[in-house]
Amino acid sequence: MKNLACLLVLSLLLFSCGEYQKVLNKGTVEDQYKLAVKMYESKNYGKALRLFEKVTPAYRGKPQMERVQFMVAQSNFNEKNYSLAGYYFDRFVSNYPTSSKKEEAAFLSAYSYKLASPVFSKDPTDTNKALDAFQMFISTYPDSDKIDEANKHYKEIRYTLQKKYFEIAKTYYTTADYDVRNYKAAIQAFDNLLSDYLGSEFKEEALYYRFKAAHDFVLKSTERRRLERIKDAVEAFEKLERNYPESKYMEDSKAMLSALQTEQARVEVVMEKLKAREEQLEKENSKDK
């Protein structure tokens, strides 16, 4: 009996595979569509996608296309093709603005891009798409039963992006000993993070490292550039102190500020002497003429 049952199952599978290949390769558009829906409903999403790819050109612009496009998006989602799923759900929202499935598709588009997002250190393209899509969903559907979940995902993605940009800025700073240009890159990167993400979870640390990068940049600068860069560093300290007067970084920051003030006094004396020397040389050159 067991052998008979196994033979029956194997026969059904072979028949099913044979039917699938026959319809896929030689079936009519209508037969391919019906089998695609059958495969979709039986959760055989990979085969469904191959059939939907076949019938899409014939159904474009027809009523069935709304259903086809949603099933294509959902099949890609279930097959873990998350970037493609996000793309197709997004297209569905654009193409069928009055559809009863528009809200579901909008949420799944955002969620697909989130699932497609790599770890924070990689390319953030899908992460940015997910953030924008969840922000749009939250604005468009404030009363949705998915709103709490959407807000949760939005906060998680926002944190991921902040962490990425903070780590990039910090890497510029930690490598500046090998390439002094990285001090400027670090300062700019910290400024971008602080302006793009107001109220960032990394704000205190970013302000500290922004000041620290400016402080260290002063020490690597020529005499002529130091006064200008000391001014920028002092302004960075004042911003840290204004926002976090009790910061755990304040003691270290005040020590750096004191060093900058001492350096400023020294450089001012040097620059005054240099200025006086240049004026003297100019007078001597004028007399020679």
Query: For residue 192, what is the domain's CATH number?
Result: 1.25.40.10
What pLDDT digit, counting tens, does each position of 144-199 carry?
Answer: 999 999 999 999 999 989 999 999 999 999 999 999 999 999 999 999 999 999 98
Total number of domains constituting the chain: 1
What pLDDT digit, counting tens, does each position of 198-218 carry?
Answer: 989 999 999 999 999 999 999
Determine, yes or no, domain membership for 157: no
Q: Domain limits at 223?
A: 162-288
In this prediction, residue 270 has a pLDDT band, given cuts at 50, 70 and 90, of confident
pLDDT given for residue 1 in this prediction: 55
Q: Is the pTM of this model over 0.85?
A: no
10 Å CB burial of residue 211 (0-12, 13-18, 19+) is: buried
pLDDT given for residue 152 in this prediction: 97
Determine, yes or no, domain membership for 276: yes
Determine, yes or no, domain membership for 183: yes
Report whether pLDDT(105) > 60.
yes
Determine, yes or no, domain membership for 6: no
pLDDT given for residue 13 in this prediction: 44
pLDDT given for residue 10 in this prediction: 41
Please say whether the dihedral angle defined by the alpha carbons of residues 207, 208, 211 and 216, taken in this order, is positive or negative. Answer: negative
Q: Give the separation between CA 52 and CA 71, rounded to whole angstroms.
A: 9
Report in angstroms the alpha-carbon separations of 139 from 117, 133, 146, 169, 199: 22, 10, 12, 31, 20
Query: For all residues of the chain together, what is the average pLDDT?
Result: 89
What residues contact residue 121 under an 8 Å CB cut-off, 6+ apart?
164, 167
> Average pLDDT of 239-268?
96
Return the amino acid letter for 190.
F
Determine, yes or no, domain membership for 237: yes
What pLDDT digit, counting tens, does each position of 20-38 carry?
Answer: 888 888 788 899 999 999 9
Determine, yes or no, domain membership for 259: yes
In this prediction, residue 122 has a pLDDT band, given cuts at 50, 70 and 90, of low
CA atoms within 13 A on the CB side of 225: 8
Determine, yes or no, domain membership for 236: yes
pLDDT given for residue 72 in this prediction: 97
Q: Are 127 and 160 in contact (CB under 8 A)?
A: yes
pLDDT given for residue 4 in this prediction: 45
Determine, yes or no, domain membership for 196: yes
In this prediction, residue 7 has a pLDDT band, given cuts at 50, 70 and 90, of very low
